Amino acid sequence: MKKTEARRPKSKTRAPKPRKLSHVNRAGEATMVDVGLKVPTVRFAKAAGRIRMTSAALRAIQANAIKKGDVLGVARVAGIQAAKRTAELIPLCHPLQITDVQVALTIDTKLTGVLVEASVRTTAQTGVEMEALIAASVALLTVYDMTKSIDKGMVIERVRLLEKTGGKSGDWRAR
């Protein structure tokens, strides 16, 4: 009798149980999470991203020489507005009473681009991570829209959650 393969010793530890997705029901269908019985807590989230562009496009933004107007000012307002409309854009998000939205855009000459940081705060039964991510994304898309006549090859990248606080899952920070 030939041995065709070596037997592995049985592991005494079990594989971790896969985490259940919160927005999928038992039938595997997408569904909105019922947060009605959760206790409202102070929630905060911060997201960031960036857009790289040609030096000509960046100089035009710095000189406020874009025909459509003040790129950074309009992008800031667009990000704030977008955060307030997140539930209209992301199908399973709850509409939230946001108490604060801050969007900061900074020119980065080393990057040859613009950095954005968006933070959102509320007291609610669910978090504001999506609102912060939407604010950062739409602010960057607005920079693109207003500057595309100079540079259609701009690259939006590294949009990500930096931190969140509050709620049952606790605080989290990106590494």
- DSSP 3-state of 15: coil
pLDDT exceeds cutoff 90 at 123: yes
- For residues 114 and 52, what is the distance between their CA atoms, to the nearest angstrom? 7
Residue 122 bridge partners (DSSP): 43, 98
Residues in CB range of 23: below 8 A, 6 or more apart: 30, 31, 32, 33, 92
More confident residue, 78 or 168: 78
The pLDDT mean for the chain works out to: 89
Q: What are the structural domains, with CATH classification, of the chain?
A: 53-167 (3.30.70.640)
Mean pLDDT, to the nearest integer, of 66-74?
95
Sign of the dihedral defined by the CA atoms of residues 121, 24, 160, 54, in that order? negative
- Could you give phi then psi for residue 128, rounded to 5 degrees? -120, 25
Confidence label for 34 from pLDDT (cuts 50, 70 and 90)? low
The reported pLDDT for the residue numbered 88 is 95
70 is known as an active-site residue: no
* CA atoms of 175 and 173, how far apart (whole Å): 6
Residue tagged active-site, from 34, 100, 108, 145: 145
The pLDDT of residue 97 is above 60: yes
d(CA 127, CA 115): 24
